[in-house]
Amino acid sequence: MLPGKSVMNISLSDHFTYKKLLKFVFPSIIMMVFTSIYGVVDGLFVSNCVGKHAFTAINLIMPFIMIFGGVGFMLGTGGSALVAKTLGEQQPEKANRYFAMIIQTTVVVGTLISLIGIIVISPVAVFLGADELILPDCVIYGSITMLFCTSFMLQNAFQSFLITAGRPNLGLAATVAAGITNMLLDALFVAFLKWGVAGAAIPTGLSQCVGGVLPLIYFLRPNSSLLSLKSTKPELVPILKACANGSSEMVSNVTASIIGMLYNFQLLKYAGQDGVASYGVLMYIQFFYIAIFIGYSIGSAPIIGYHYGAGNHPELKNLLRKSILLMGATGFGMLLIAELLARPLSLIFVGYDPGLLTMTVRALRIASLSFIIVGFNIFASSFFTALNNGGISAAISFLRTFIFKLSAVWFLPLLFHLDGIWWAEVTAEIFAFFLSLIFLITKRKRYNYF
């Protein structure tokens, strides 16, 4: 089998035209889009079937939950970049050892995080601003989802490893199966059985089991992909390398979650619980749009990592040039679509409350201006991760998702009140765009991609 051979007859070692590149990353894009859709389903059912207070509770506790999912992304993206580079160096046995170590680490860490999360969920909810009205729902939703933390982390990790193994379609199939599980059970537990926020949390956890356990079974059994899970002795250095290399994804998730908490604090101050609900809708819809960029970055990273490991500089130039053009064109198109659909999408979530609807539509129309450049920023961070330069990747993610957004969401409301919170996203992405551009230019000679 050729290196990276997949069911689509595309190898990681190939020269990639636009058609071949899009064909290879398409399953990853659909996978992330589908993930975003079934992630939205929880909020959609809770908002319409349980009420806006329960919807506020979920959005208040969600940033805390997402921090731990970031550990899975860190191990998956950092580990897959290391594994892809090792495959490019023609060392398949070592690549499989690294793969097994990272999955073992994910299981152990996930179990510990579940226990800690359940213990601290109540005081954390109070710290985040939950009052007596929404605290019980915060604790119920948070505790149930934390029970499934290991599956959540495995699901995130396998999204990257299935692509590196040359099985992106299997990753898509697992995601679709998980999504269907979540949506059907949401309809049953929330809409029909009226289980409230617990009825939304249980399907989420079970769907994560589908997305995390099915790939685990595949890799434990004999298979024809580039990777398989076999018993191996843990080594600290490769695990630390994977963590360092994937630190940008961890930084991105942790800082985005912290910023989400700050957004909620500011929104409670300037708009009350309606502001938190409006921000929840904004986050759901934004994630649907940027899932395309995230999916492309996840799907293209193993290709970049392979050609970096193989020393194929002309192909690195080809991949970077095509990716930048694709991110720009897609961003412009998504901006137009987002502006046109701001009101119809808001109606789906909060059409029952005219005041909340008006606030949400305005938030979407302002924040969606960031779409034209956010894809470039996401790809730039992923590009350096694929080059095994976790430092630069983490710097882009940390400054973009934390420092720039922290500054914007803290100071802009002082000048523009509630609108300042919605403009924070756009302002942060503009600063991140110039930072990413600077790193790409200054490191061009080191990696020979220009």
Looking at residue 14, what DSSP letter applies? S
Q: Encoding tokens for residue 327?
A: 């991110």
CB 417 within 8 Å of CB 275: no
At 285 the pLDDT is 83
Rounded Cα distance between 17 and 304, Å, is: 14
Q: What is the DSSP code string of 164-203?
A: HTT-HHHHHHHHHHHHHHHHHHHIIIIIIS--HHHHHHHH
At 146 the pLDDT is 92
At 361, which amino acid appears?
A: V
CB 250 within 8 Å of CB 73: yes
Element (H, E) at 393: helix 390-398
At 249 the pLDDT is 65
At 90 the pLDDT is 87
CB 164 within 8 Å of CB 302: yes
At 179, which amino acid appears?
A: G
Low-confidence ranges of the chain (pLDDT < 70): 1-9, 38-39, 69, 248-249, 251-252
372: Cβ–Cβ under 8 A, 6 or more apart, which residues? 328, 331, 332, 334, 335
Q: Encoding tokens for residue 105?
A: 């680490």
258: Cβ–Cβ under 8 A, 6 or more apart, which residues? 63, 67, 402
At 2 the pLDDT is 40
Rounded Cα distance between 99 and 164, Å, is: 10
Taking phi over 0 as left and psi of -120 to 50 as alpha, with beta for the rest, 129 belongs to left
Q: Encoding tokens for residue 311?
A: 């020393």
At 321 the pLDDT is 95
At 69 the pLDDT is 67
Rounded Cα distance between 377 and 433, Å, is: 6
At 6 the pLDDT is 45
